[in-house]
Amino acid sequence: MTDLWPAPYAPAPVSHTQTVPGSKSMTNRALILAALAQGESLIVGALRSRDTELMESALAAMGTHFAREGEEIRVTPSELQAAEVDCGLAGTVMRFVPPVAAFAQGPVLFDGDVQAKSRPMNTILDALRNLGVSVAGDTLPFTVHGTGSAPGGEVTIDASGSSQFVSGLLLAAPRFERGVKITHSGGTLPSMPHIEMTVDMLAQAGVRVQAEGNTWKVEPQPIQSNRWVIEPDLSNATPFLAAAAVTGGAVSVPHWPISTTQPGDVIRDILERMGCEVELVVTGPDHTLEVRGPQNGELCGIRIDMSDIGELTPTVAALAACASTPSELTGIAHLRGHETNRLEALTTELNRLGGNCEELPDGLRITPASLHGGTWYSYADHRMATAGAILGLVVEGVEVENIDTTSKTLPGFAQMWETMVGR
């Protein structure tokens, strides 16, 4: 039987303060860097979700030791060994861990969820082969035959499908005997803020990355141990801020960073452009983001290139479906290779509820239409599920299939959402 969650309907403006757990992107990068470091590291405020637990389990299977102490994780590196890795549906695990496996003493077998087997992997696996690593297979399941070391060198890749290919190579680059020089040869490189996050976190671990245009060079060097403090996950905060926007309410998110490399921070500009009041309130050492939706309940449509912020597309598409003027979201052709084909999925589900969404070669065109209740399918995609929840606030009778898929990055989402609406 299909698991359907009746999305809470909000007949009145939502007023709520929502604390958001740590960033998945920062947590998984910190886990990788801690596993490759020369000494013991501490990670404070790490997210606990399916994706981060899969990352921790992958590194633990290869020999890294993790000890939880309250809100902290103490990470002790060890000689890496042969292992079997379950990637689940986590892009960071399937793209970040294979370069690490090059330094294992023995084969590392990678497998994952059924949906993950269709996600593009050739870019990272061929890159590893060109860097002197033996790899068997081109999609999940595949095996990296680690020998404890790898030559490294120069590699040219087309990372237009995902910035994770660049980040995955960069995180392990200092361990290669000759370092790594990466050149992106394709078209638009999506999600550049995620590469900037990787470079910034490498710098915090004492690793210098020489970046120029679409080329990154890392000399062989030690990765230093560190105390990692993880920011709240700003992308996971966006559905709650969207709740203020669509209901004409007010939502606050504490501990919002003043300066960050997280792409989710761009939601502030998007909401302002769509008619919301947005303010980052600083009180002493802390800061809270406050969003108020338009009092008349009418959002403006938006035309925006989302190539750097593709992960926000489901949230912005839901906002656009509630707006009073048309929207165009472009620069996101790469979303066809995410957890699901997000462009096709969003088009199908919005139109299923009476919306008017047209799939473009590189995005979506959404025209205002009168929405009605019905089933919203998640496609085992956490951000599709939260998009359905946003629409359910203003459209009675929306039922989201498999809301529990949100545990991929935000366990307990459904309960948080129901608490916000007062259900």
Secondary structure letter of residue 114 according to DSSP: G
DSSP string, 377-418: --TT-HHHHHHHHHHHHHSTTEEEETGGGGGGT-TTHHHHHH
Residues 375, 236: Cα–Cα separation, whole Å: 23
Binding residue per annotation — 129? no
Task: Report the alpha-carbon distance of residue 168 to residue 186 in Å, rounded.
Answer: 17
Q: Is 24 annotated as a binding residue?
A: yes
* 68 appears as a binding residue in the annotation: no
Catalytic residue of the set 56, 231, 311, 349: 311
Q: Is 352 helix (H, G, I), strand (E, B) or coil?
A: helix
Residue 51 and residue 410: Cα distance in Å, rounded? 9
Tokens of 176: 């290669």
Ligand-binding site membership of 57 (annotated): no
162 is in an annotated binding site: yes
- Distance (Å, rounded) from C-alpha 275 to C-alpha 277? 7
**Integer Cα distance of 288 and 278 in angstroms:** 11
Q: To the nearest 5 percent, what fractions of the chain are helix, strand and coil?
A: 35, 25, 35
* Three-state SS at 373: coil
Question: Does 408 count as an annotated binding residue?
Answer: yes
Find out whether 338 is annotated in a ligand binding site. yes
Residue 422: CB atoms within 10 A of its CB come to 11
- For 269, half-sphere exposure in the C-beta direction (CA atoms, 13 angstrom radius) is 10
Q: Is 164 annotated as a binding residue?
A: yes
Do 234 and 281 form a contact (C-beta atoms < 8 A)? no
268 is in an annotated binding site: no
Determine whether the annotation assigns residue 324 to a binding site: no
Active-site residue, 339 included? no
Residues with a catalytic annotation lie at: 311
- Known binding residues are 24-25, 29, 91, 119, 162-164, 191, 311, 338, 342, 383, 408
- Known binding residues for 3-phosphoshikimate are 24-25, 29, 162-164, 191, 311, 338
- Known binding residues for phosphoenolpyruvate are 24, 91, 119, 164, 342, 383, 408
